[in-house]
Structure 1
Amino acid sequence: MSRPTVVLVHGAFADASSYASVVPELLADGFPVVAPAVPNRSLTGDAAYVASVVRRIPGPVILVGHSYGGAVITVAGTEENVRGLVYLAGYALEEGESLGELQGRFSDSDLADALVYAPFPVEGQEDGTDVSVDVERFPEIFAADVDPVLARVLAVTQRPLAARAFGEAAPVAAWRSKPSWGLVASSDRTINPEVERFGYQRAGMTTVEVDSSHLVMLAHPKSVVALIREAADRA
């Protein structure tokens, strides 16, 4: 029986290379894999882009989202060929809810006072605002259990998130109609783990917990692959 295609959606302050330890194992298991570069400009715009990638894939898809990528798959996951959703230390938004609103229910993580804001040009409009993580603090907050040399590389190659994405409400919640799985990174210092638990429990997801930093795909790739494999087998 052919395997579904696994689409890996990265989060803020990262790019698709954050799945570098997961992709080889999925390919070895016989899964086709697509790991698009998410623009990180707006929730609805990013979700529309990911949905366009999913629509081009023949056959069933398992949609995986890390961190902000969880919010993206919450919207993009309504595509007809999506069979299941997997959230990795991610935001499982409710319809009409924004990242800021969900985070605001809980105490701040260490990320809150390590964010850096910078303007970027938007043609024909006022400048937008890029949000990134202080380079010196990135390793401890984002990647505490990742190889320190790699963590420093990740710190200086961040893909910023436009500030507007934090306040944008999700127009739909795909987990209402698709089977979903969630991984809580219990030592996460980027997203309060309670944010992850709350979103997953509200959605009725099958949930696992891993003692990991935010970048669980690099710190514990086998746990991530096991959850994706379970979703593919059961969705």
Structure 2
Amino acid sequence: MTMNSKPALETALNHRSIRKFTQQPIEAEVLQQVLTAGQMASTSSFLQSVSVIRVTDMEKRRRLREICAGNVPNGHHYVENCAEFLVFCMDSARHHHYAPEAQTDWIEVLLTGAVDTALFAQNVLLTAESLGLGGVYIGGIRNDIQAVSELLAIPPHVVPVVGMCLGYPDHHPNQRPRLPLSAILSENTYQLADGETLAAYNQTVHEYYQTRKLDLTWQQQIQSSLYAELRPELLAYLQKQGFAKR
């Protein structure tokens, strides 16, 4: 089949998360190409510390949706309804196959593996979007990472980092406004954005959410995300899997 992709810049600038999908399946060749594009992402020390689990078993999908939704009844319906659900894993199991004494319990290995996984997944999503697909990252698989590991038979030295729904979009949501470039770009030394810039952006986000009938600011979103425990069981899980011990 012929695949016509949009330019990279156009694709990146038009990104938005898609949570409603048509029933159209993703052609096998298209899926293979977007995953191959993921493999071509940069990888620290050529370790290629990523594996992907394609979840096609609908009972597993149902259970994953429950985990991701947490306390929201029937939430995250798109985990079940998307054409493809992928789980991106940080993987050092292959390293231990080749080098049984590999010291993969250092924090640095955890960081480089997480970076590799993120780069791989972003290549997949960007390529998928360039081909007319849409998707959304699903961090909710870490709501109960042990249950996800058992469901997907994940061995030691492997960690499921993030899920991704992919499919053909059935809606076209407005794009969420990002921070102005001036707020994130420094030169030579770190510079925190000034209060006026941050206040203006907070108002911009508020106005965006009002179009969605929500009374919410970026400040409130930060507070709701960072004023509580954040999956405190993760450290013990990571150490059980052989990571983050030193």
TM-score (norm 1): 0.23
Greater per-residue helix proportion: 2
Greater per-residue strand proportion: 1
TM-score (norm 2): 0.22
